[in-house]
Structure 1
């Protein structure tokens, strides 16, 4: 890491947080790192906050593939993407000195709405009805018609994001080392007349998922890109696939994906 010296700090400024960040800036200067004000000049992007702040940092910095991302929590409770606490700056120094950190690559999904310019998601892309009525979506896998979904919506997640919204819907937790995407239903309607798979579906990394919104007055859906809602009108179809873009994260060696799952859920 000797040449990766430009650091961009992403956080929501408050008086209390600024006081806590001052020692971090001093530490960076002491070790010859340079704080920059433009993320496009950075080699390292540091998110200060919780997991939600980390997701916002990715989106606001446009998912930089050639940068290292580091998550620092503002409290003592660490998350899936934050291995360090702002209250224990020395732990960051010790981890660097003792080579306790490693770079891990995490997958993203690429989403295109109405064949327009694609955007990326780190955890998941969700599509939900914005009115209180059944949402109807025709589901295609690699251009093959698969089913007609009726319910509140659908979530497509990465393996990394399988522990987030996907898990709360009963989806499977997927090892991030596997290349694939997962489709999970939100309150599907299943009876003698209407039928969906009714279970999470894991697709290979080579598959393309196409969701065609049936235009019955529900063509203004809420599309979620991780923890941000997108304003898109007249949504006809959504194409989702595993992207070639991968996010490089600086993580503790002794805090693997399944160790975090164990600490969080067991």
Structure 2
């Protein structure tokens, strides 16, 4: 990692946080790292502020394929994307300097809206009704009709995103080394008249998921892309595939994904 000397820090610009970051900036410079103002010039992009900030950092810097991402939590809290804490920032510089890090690769999903606009998601894409009524969605897998969903909405999660919104709906936690994506329901309507699968299901990396929204007043649903909400006019359909792109992050050698899951939930 000796050649990776350009650091870009993504964080909310507030005076208190900048004071806390000053010792980290000084330590990085003392160890011959350069702190750059433009993320395009960075080899390593460092988010400060927990998992939410990490998701924002990846999105705002364009899911770069030619750099590494790492996260620092602001407090001593568990995080699935953050290996380091601002209370122990010196560990990050020491680990980089002494090659105590490994690179892990997280899959992302590609989302096409109305076959026009494309987005990438590291955690999940969700679609929900903005009206106080069920949203109706026809679900297709590889072009074949699977079910007609009625309920509050659907979540399509990556393996790393499986521990977030997906898990709160009783979806499975998936190993990020498994290239796949998961579909989970939000308050599905199941009775003698309407029926859905009633559980989450996992699709292989080669599958294509298509969600067609029935235009019955829910023409303007809310689409959640990771931790950002988008209201897009006249949404007809979403097509979701596992992207060829990945997000490369640095991790401590003795801090696996399942170690993080254990610390966070058990």
Aligned-partner Cα distance in 1 for 2:90–2:147: 54
| Structure 1 stretch displaced more, 155-164 or 255-264 | 255-264
Aligned-partner Cα distance in 2 for 1:42–1:101: 18
Aligned-partner Cα distance in 2 for 1:156–1:195: 19
1:172: which partner in 2?
A: 172
CA contact (8 A) 2:6 2:34 kept: yes
1:38: which partner in 2?
A: 38
1:139 aligns with 2:139: yes
Aligned-partner Cα distance in 1 for 2:91–2:40: 27
Report the Cα offset of residue 2 of structure 1.
Answer: 1.9
Q: How many residues align?
A: 266
CA contact (8 A) 2:73 2:82 kept: yes
Matches within 5 A, 1:229-240: 229-240=229-240
Report the Cα offset of residue 25 of structure 1.
Answer: 1.0
SS across alignment from 1:148 = strand
Aligned-residue RMSD, C-alpha: 1.0
Matches within 5 A, 1:253-264: 253-264=253-264
Aligned-partner Cα distance in 2 for 1:136–1:9: 42
Report the Cα offset of residue 159 of structure 1.
Answer: 0.6
Q: Deviations over 1:183-210 (max 9, x none)?
A: 0000000000000000111000000100
Report the Cα offset of residue 99 of structure 1.
Answer: 3.0
2:48: which partner in 1?
A: 48
Aligned-partner Cα distance in 2 for 1:253–1:219: 47
CA contact (8 A) 1:78 1:85 kept: no
1:193: which partner in 2?
A: 193
2:216: which partner in 1?
A: 216
Matches within 5 A, 1:117-156: 117-156=117-156
Aligned-partner Cα distance in 2 for 1:7–1:98: 17
Report the Cα offset of residue 253 of structure 1.
Answer: 1.4
Aligned-partner Cα distance in 1 for 2:88–2:57: 21
Aligned-partner Cα distance in 2 for 1:218–1:93: 50
CA contact (8 A) 1:78 1:84 kept: no
Q: Deviations over 1:127-163 (max 9, x none)?
A: 0000000110000000001000000000000011100
| Structure 1 stretch displaced more, 25-34 or 182-191 | 25-34
1:29: which partner in 2?
A: 29
Gapped regions of structure 1 (runs ≥ 5): none
Report the Cα offset of residue 97 of structure 1.
Answer: 4.0
1:79 aligns with 2:83: no
Q: Following TM superposition, where does structure 1 have runs of at least 4 consecutive aligned residues deviating by more than 6 angstroms?
A: none
Q: Deviations over 1:165-200 (max 9, x none)?
A: 000000001111001110000000000000000011
